[in-house]
Structure 1
Amino acid sequence: MQSFRTELENPIVERDIIELEKKIRLFREGAVTDEKFRSLRLARGIYGQRQPGVQMVRIKLPYGKMTLQQWKRITDISDEYATSNLHLTTRQDVQIHYVSLDRTPELWSKLEQDGITIREACGNTVRNVTASDRAGIDPEEPFDVTPYADATFRYFLRNPVSQEMGRKIKIAFSSSEKDTAWAFMHDFGMIPKVKIIDGKEVRGFKVLVAGGLGAQPFLAKTAHEFLETDLLIPYIENVLRVFDRYGERTSRNKARMKFLVQKIGFEEFNRLVEEEYTAIRTKSVPVDADAWPQTQPPAPVSSLPAYSVKDPKKFEAWKKTNVFEQKQKGYFAAYVKITLGNIGSAVSRQLIEALRPVIADDVRVTANQGLLLKFILPEHLEYVYSALEAAGFAEPGFDSIADITACPGTDTCNLGISSSTGIAKVLEDVIKEEYPDLVYNKDIKIKISGCMNSCGQHGIASIGFHGSSMKSGGKVLPALQVLLGGGIVGDGVGRVADKVIKVPSKRGPDVLRSLLNDYEQNSQENELFNEYYDRQGEKYFYELLKPLADITNLTQEDFIDWGQAQDYATAIGVGECAGVIIDLVATLLLEADEKLELGAAALANGAWSDAIYHAYSSFVQAAKALLLGEGVSGNTQIGIINDFDKYFTATGKFTFDTDFKTTVLQINANEPSEQFAKAYYAQAADFYKTAQVYREKAAQAAPVQA
């Protein structure tokens, strides 16, 4: 692998990239285990694809924002390192595929030249902070949540608290009570509120915690009906510290925050969160939203290139379905429907140059895999449409039933069971050709995932599908689990879809036809789809679709998945969306030492809180290593701390002034001062040295294996 040097001015970012290059080299040389390296690269946005030997790189765009230059930079990167395609995700990221691992440090350095990061885009970290794409221009918003989403993103990026948790954390900010960022399905969801306190208007958030989709969806619980904005980040930090210490680390399927709350109860969870208040680095994080650089309209243009609209009727439909007036009077925003979130780099550059004169330098990736263009004058809408039409991206029906959300599924994901993109294309064609008037229907949402993990958000869809399989005559065929009745209620309340029935994948179009025809024929006037579903009930829809689940009359075509030519075969790999559990003794001790190195650097920089948390992590990692050497495997940090006292302190193998738990949990009882940081770090360093000596003696005493 060739070495390189970045020209970045930010020394922290430069150190990150050089460290990645170093770890790749050590991995190639066999000096770093596969388990350890996987964890490291995931935290740098590098995800192993279904196809061996290549990587997906996830580019992290807080609240989905791209400047036009950043958009162009990503297109250039995709041309040079990937497949000249940009995949827009439901978490407002951009993914590129088929990247060589050895080229990722260089790729990252080029992205950072325009302030774009891949840090913590995957792995057991705080993932991308999402927000309503309309934030800042939403006519219904009490205030712009963008500055607060940005502050949250920056506060937790590289934060020691959120580097190696048991599982990922997802955060979302909605712009209004319509909850278009789906606060109810996130680990943290925020909805802006305004209160009058002592005669003054005070900004705050309704805060929801411990929501999530996946195979077992949980609706988030309300932690605060109103939390002032400067208290939000400290609250999130408190919760993350509790999740880091008490969250599951062995069973990946039980490691999300929703399971911790379910296990210990919400009351106990809140008590533990309150206990952390003393130790956090700051009790208030004010965000000067008034000083936030507002998105500016484009400069006036005297003339535009010659243009024409090929389909005036379609243009009128596009204006009705894809365009809305901003809260800034006289300006409009336009949504771009991107089928399955895929847009080529050449087309992207074409649009960037054509649209630059008439849109703001602030393009948002939407949570349903599209784009939002802002600050368009009414007289420029026709020109914008013509540019989109020329590029093949002028379809009306954004966020309608005809705008289907789907994850990559078996195209590239290790966990994909059956095709999600193939069936999505077919269903969009069914709506376009057989139900053209539904392009105006924004009530019904169709969402598809390639497996039960809900990356395509099928669990909150009016009509959802997730990939599955069925058996018939000793053969396996691709299948779809049908879910109905999910969606947004508002103000942090959501609906989880019901699993109704499983059908062969090739019958997906007939499922959609049956549902739409039944709804059209039997619904009451102005009755929304979910209202109709509630009135008829789950059993009614099971019986409606039951004939399509019959596998006694299969054809050869049913054994071939969408977009494939060969018979279907399940081929599920090892999922990496949450990293893996690292339990090798030597690796754990190495990690404990690395935490001390990070702590020393934080002390040198006066970052007392960071130094303390690195020292805490070193305590836990070293204790876990020694316990593992004794055959004891802990599944939470607090369990490791308790077990160390049981197996090492109580047996006299280690001694402390009190015990190990009291020593380690000083972290909760002290303010993060310089004095405490240095003393606590020294204790952690001493413990690591003692642990190293103990491990070396144990290794020497171990019998030699024949």
Structure 2
Amino acid sequence: MQSFRTELENPVVEKDIIELDKKILQFREGKIPEEKFRSLRLARGIYGQRQPGVQMIRIKLPYGKMTLQQWKRISDVSDEYSTGNLHLTTRQDIQIHYVSLEKTPELWAKLDKDDITIREACGNTVRNITASDKAGIDPDEPFDVTPYADAAFRYFLRNPICQDMGRKFKIAFSSSDRDTAWAFMHDIGVIPKIRQVDGKTVRGFKVMVGGGLGAQPYLAHTAFEFLEEDQLIPYIENVLRVFDRHGERASRHKARLKFLIQKIGFEEFERLVKEEHKALKSKNFVVERTEEPVVLPAPDPVLPAFSIKDPKKYEAWKTTNIFRQKQDSYYAAYVRVPLGNISTAISRQLIDALRPVIADDVRVTANQGLLLKYILPAHLPYVYSVLETAGFAEAGFDSIADITACPGTDTCNLGISSSTGIAARLEEVIHDEFPDLVYNKDIKIKISGCMNSCGQHGIASIGFHGSSLKSSGKTLPALQVLLGGGIVGNGEGRVADKVIKVPSKRGPDVLRTLLHDYETNGQESELFNDYYDRQGERYFYDLLKPLTDLATLRDEDFVDWGQQEKFATAIGVGECAGVVIDLVATLLFEAEEKLAWSEEALANAQYADGIYHAYSAFVQGAKALLLSEGVSCNTQHGIINDFDKHFVAAGKLVVDGGFKATVMQINEHEPTESFAKQYFRQAAAFYSQAQEYRQAVAAPAQEQA
């Protein structure tokens, strides 16, 4: 670990990496339970794969931005520690696979040389904050949301309020009312707005809360039609504090914010959010409106000789993959990346060749592609030729031909049937049989390997998720077909209907049937979802019903796409979030750790952080004692109430004024130095009592054993 200390410039990151290395060693020595270690590594972007003994590393790119040097750094790291493939995700991250656990601290240290993090890319944390890829150059945007997305990323990274919540939390920033970041499907989604107040232009956001995809999609509630810009981050913090305290922790499938709001009602949720306001470290948060200046390409670079092999494809590419930026004289170009996979060799080839003619700001898009910015019109032919040479010049970005798919059974524990194999086959169907649809950006096809919607099938015009069917005692791969999802605009969206399930190998026939029917029976200029609404769900069920006939199955139907062996479901334990820790000793250790963090924060005058760490120590200590006596613990709110009932009222522990009243002082005081120090002392005294009680109870039990 000495090399990390000497090479890293950021002491905060250095501390993170040293701690990770130490925890890995303790885990290997059996000093940390597997459940606890899983939670710890997930919060550091380290995700167990379907294949045993190796890890997927998720690299967190806020709003999908990377410089050319960062892209090169990620490529170098993939070559050294992974397989030389970069997987672009629907949350604008980059994933690399087949990494040794012991190598992850070293890998992280090398990423940090170019200010790249894996911290909180997985686990029960605020995940990567996404944004419309056009943000900053969008001709329709009221203002650039990029600085606000960046400020939110930095504010909540390592923030004590969101390090170990009941479940993950997702935030998105759309650049305009077109809502291309899907604000309506996030825990918090925002859309920029401007208002005239006393003759002045005021910035703000429409704020959506409580949306989500997964197996049970929910459309978000509108929290504010207009929230002034300096109130956005404080509001998000309020929501996170409520989610941390009241969110479900025992039942993982009911632990998202959408379920909490469904359970208590939106009115009660809003009341709880307002209760948190006094405790905030910032009652308003002013975001600097300008990022670092964009490094633009030189106007007259010396370019190598080039040629365009297929002028007809170039014209199609210009029609579908480029747009004029709001900045005069500049264009942006989208790059289709099939299934989100691009090699490190091609990445370096593109970096070197494109550097003279694009800005030093590349965006990973939410449909697994790339966006190149600030291209002068005269350089568009050269950009195309570079992409053509690399094999990445396909037209039809974000069209029906540009299918989104999660990795599915290739690497994910939760995958049921192949998503990447069927996606590739469907793209072939469109390319070979419906070539003109490369210009159709109305219909979106999205595929997930299971019902959890990492491929966003729940908001697709035509969606599929992996499943299985039984026939004559044998299992075969299947696809659930969903229709009618998508963006409406301004924070409104559509959740796709589950229509029918078919064998996976009939997926191409599903697509052919739908497209031929739409071609034949759709009205002039009628959009696909309007056609779906007019015909109705039952119409499409009947249309596709012949494809469900299991009496005509062939041997190949029992083999999944891209596989050789007969299909068998092999679902592992999902790692989209940490698991509940139910070991009393571990919980008490965590409470002690939180106290140490609190003391450190107070020493650095970070009083709000110190208070929240002390709060967490109260909760972890109480949870440990409750679990030691068989009391179930679903939420922090429940723990606080139950501790008074089972311990204080029963006379087992003395807490002056009651446990709840003591702990919930957190919402009754400003985060001042005096309160922070008082609250810490109370938390430390409670922890000492908890340890004494545990030892007094455990000792007789050990003697009897």
> What is the CA distance between 1:299 and its match in structure 2?
1.8
> What is the CA distance between 1:633 and its match in structure 2?
1.5
Match for residue 626 of structure 1? 625
Structure 1 segment 211-222 matched on structure 2, within 5 A? 211-222=211-222
Q: Does the Cα contact within 8 Å between 1:363 and 1:374 map onto a contact in 2?
A: yes
Structure 1 segment 342-381 matched on structure 2, within 5 A? 342-381=341-380
Deviations 1:323-368 (A, max 9, x none): 0000001100000000000000000000000000000000000000
> What is the CA distance between 1:425 and its match in structure 2?
0.1
Query: Using the alignment, how far apart are the partners of 2:68 and 2:190 within structure 1?
Result: 28
Q: Does the Cα contact within 8 Å between 2:320 and 2:396 map onto a contact in 1?
A: yes
Structure 1 segment 298-309 matched on structure 2, within 5 A? 298-309=297-308
Change (3 A) 1:446 1:375: same
Match for residue 394 of structure 2? 395
Match for residue 71 of structure 1? 71
Change (3 A) 1:367 1:6: farther
Q: Does the Cα contact within 8 Å between 1:418 and 1:469 map onto a contact in 2?
A: yes
Query: Using the alignment, how far apart are the partners of 1:220 and 1:569 within structure 2?
Result: 37
Match for residue 155 of structure 2? 155
Change (3 A) 1:598 1:512: same
Greater mean deviation of Cα atoms: 295-304 or 277-286? 295-304
Structure 1 segment 437-476 matched on structure 2, within 5 A? 437-476=436-475
Deviations 1:547-604 (A, max 9, x none): 0011111110100000000000000000001111111101100110110111111001
Query: Using the alignment, how far apart are the partners of 1:308 and 1:604 within structure 2?
Result: 63
Segments of structure 1 that go 5 or more residues without pairing to the other structure are: none
Aligned to 1:694, the other structure's residue is in SS state helix
Query: Using the alignment, how far apart are the partners of 2:62 and 2:406 within structure 1?
Result: 20
Match for residue 201 of structure 2? 201
Aligned AA for 2:671?
Answer: P
Match for residue 431 of structure 1? 430
Change (3 A) 1:302 1:450: closer
* 1:311 aligns to 2:294 (yes or no): no
Aligned to 2:222, the other structure's residue is in SS state strand
Q: Does the Cα contact within 8 Å between 1:401 and 1:446 map onto a contact in 2?
A: yes
Deviations 1:453-502 (A, max 9, x none): 00000000000000000000110000000000000000000000000000
Between the two proteins, the alignment pairs up a number of residues equal to 705
Match for residue 540 of structure 1? 539
Q: Does the Cα contact within 8 Å between 1:6 and 1:109 map onto a contact in 2?
A: no
Match for residue 603 of structure 1? 602
Deviations 1:144-200 (A, max 9, x none): 000000000000000000000000000000000000000000000000000011110
> What is the CA distance between 1:659 and its match in structure 2?
0.5
* 1:494 aligns to 2:475 (yes or no): no
Segments of structure 2 that go 5 or more residues without pairing to the other structure are: none
Identity %: 76
* 1:169 aligns to 2:169 (yes or no): yes
Aligned to 2:371, the other structure's residue is in SS state strand
Query: Using the alignment, how far apart are the partners of 2:392 and 2:6 within structure 1?
Result: 36
* 1:40 aligns to 2:40 (yes or no): yes
Q: Does the Cα contact within 8 Å between 1:207 and 1:225 map onto a contact in 2?
A: yes
Query: Using the alignment, how far apart are the partners of 1:327 and 1:148 within structure 2?
Result: 19
Query: Using the alignment, how far apart are the partners of 1:216 and 1:278 within structure 2?
Result: 34
> What is the CA distance between 1:213 and its match in structure 2?
0.3
Match for residue 485 of structure 1? 484
Query: Using the alignment, how far apart are the partners of 2:335 and 2:345 within structure 1?
Result: 16
* 1:19 aligns to 2:7 (yes or no): no
* 1:702 aligns to 2:701 (yes or no): yes
Aligned to 1:212, the other structure's residue is in SS state coil
> What is the CA distance between 1:6 and its match in structure 2?
5.1
Structure 1 segment 505-524 matched on structure 2, within 5 A? 505-524=504-523
Superposed CA RMSD in Å reads: 1.0
> What is the CA distance between 1:293 and its match in structure 2?
2.2
Structure 1 segment 86-97 matched on structure 2, within 5 A? 86-97=86-97
Structure 1 segment 541-580 matched on structure 2, within 5 A? 541-580=540-579
* 1:334 aligns to 2:354 (yes or no): no
Q: Does the Cα contact within 8 Å between 1:68 and 1:352 map onto a contact in 2?
A: yes
Query: Using the alignment, how far apart are the partners of 1:231 and 1:445 within structure 2?
Result: 35
> What is the CA distance between 1:300 and its match in structure 2?
2.4
* 1:140 aligns to 2:131 (yes or no): no
Query: Using the alignment, how far apart are the partners of 2:183 and 2:261 within structure 1?
Result: 17
Query: Using the alignment, how far apart are the partners of 2:85 and 2:704 within structure 1?
Result: 52
Query: Using the alignment, how far apart are the partners of 1:254 and 1:507 within structure 2?
Result: 33
Aligned AA for 2:484?
Answer: G
Q: Does the Cα contact within 8 Å between 2:4 and 2:14 map onto a contact in 1?
A: no
Q: Does the Cα contact within 8 Å between 2:248 and 2:260 map onto a contact in 1?
A: yes
Match for residue 650 of structure 2? 651
Q: Does the Cα contact within 8 Å between 1:6 and 1:14 map onto a contact in 2?
A: no
TM-score (norm 1): 0.99
Match for residue 297 of structure 1? 296
Change (3 A) 1:610 1:374: same
Match for residue 230 of structure 2? 230
> What is the CA distance between 1:5 and its match in structure 2?
4.0
> What is the CA distance between 1:689 and its match in structure 2?
0.8
> What is the CA distance between 1:654 and its match in structure 2?
1.1
Aligned to 2:417, the other structure's residue is in SS state coil
Q: Does the Cα contact within 8 Å between 2:4 and 2:109 map onto a contact in 1?
A: no
Query: Using the alignment, how far apart are the partners of 1:6 and 1:430 within structure 2?
Result: 54
Match for residue 245 of structure 1? 245
Query: Using the alignment, how far apart are the partners of 1:165 and 1:604 within structure 2?
Result: 25
Change (3 A) 1:372 1:562: same
